[in-house]
């Protein structure tokens, strides 16, 4: 059984993961509107992964005897100054999520809640990947600068993204 404080904190994280999915879906539609179909596909996959992150939390809260409380999801931004800005914001958003995952982990340690602590380790590891991937894309944008052909090639590259096998396995957990 988890504490009320932990239950509330996990529910807040559930809301953040749902917002993440909503935000990335909004980014996908922005790219679609700019005819950057590869980037749109990349973001749709990202949105789907965030949905899986939220469902993992929802299942865990219920499994451990907590009550899931679905709160309102904030309206995401719908427009950006450039494709680069979108990925810069993606990186910032992932850093924000990492900060909260770390705080949740601190709380689990403080409460000696070993099952939640173990559950959260997956998110700790996932955040390392999430930040690294977003950072790599930002660096690629910096390399291509204002080159239209560079943007075209990056769009092609990001469009080749496939669902991570890691995520597919996790979905079945
Ligand atoms: Fe679920 Fe991208 O953090």
Domain ranges of the chain: 4-164
- pTM here? 0.93
pLDDT confidence bin for 108, thresholds 50/70/90: very high
The pLDDT of residue 30: 98
DSSP H or E run through 46: helix 37-63
- The whole-number average pLDDT for the span 82-110 is 98
Sequence-ordered alpha helix ranges (H) in 64-171 = 83-110, 114-144, 148-159, 165-171
Are the beta carbons of 40 and 31 closer than 8 angstroms?
yes
Whether 13 lines ligand 1, by a CB cut-off of 6 Å, is no
Could you tell me if the CB of 54 is within 6 A of ligand 1?
no
Cβ(42)–Cβ(30) below 8 Å: no
Report the share of the chain in percent with pLDDT over 70: 95
Q: Which residue owns the Cα nearest ligand 1 atom 1?
A: 50
Verify whether ligand 1 is closer than 6 Å to residue 101 (CB atom). Answer: no
CATH for the stretch 4-164: 1.20.1260.10
- Check pocket membership of 17 for ligand 1, CB cut-off 6 A: yes
- Between the CA of residue 7 and those of 43, 58, 150, what are the distances in Å? 30, 11, 46
């Amino acid at each position: 059984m988890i504490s009320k404080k932990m239950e509330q904190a996990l529910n807040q994280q559930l809301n953040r993961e749902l917002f993440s999915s909503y935000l990335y879906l909004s980014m996908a539609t922005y790219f679609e509107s700019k005819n950057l179909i590869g980037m749109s596909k990349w973001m749709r996959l990202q949105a789907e992964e965030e949905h899986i992150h939220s469902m993992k939390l929802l299942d865990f809260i219920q499994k451990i005897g907590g009550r899931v409380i679905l709160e309102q999801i904030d309206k995401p931004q719908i427009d950006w100054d450039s494709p680069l800005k979108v990925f810069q914001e993606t990186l910032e958003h992932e850093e924000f999520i990492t900060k909260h995952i770390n705080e949740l982990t601190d709380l689990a340690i403080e409460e000696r809640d070993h099952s939640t602590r173990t559950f959260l380790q997956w998110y700790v590891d996932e955040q390392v990947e999430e930040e690294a991937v977003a950072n790599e894309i930002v660096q690629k944008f910096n390399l291509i600068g204002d080159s239209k052909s560079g943007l075209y090639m990056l769009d092609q590259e990001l469009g080749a993204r496939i669902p991570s096998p890691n995520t597919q396995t996790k979905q079945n957990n």
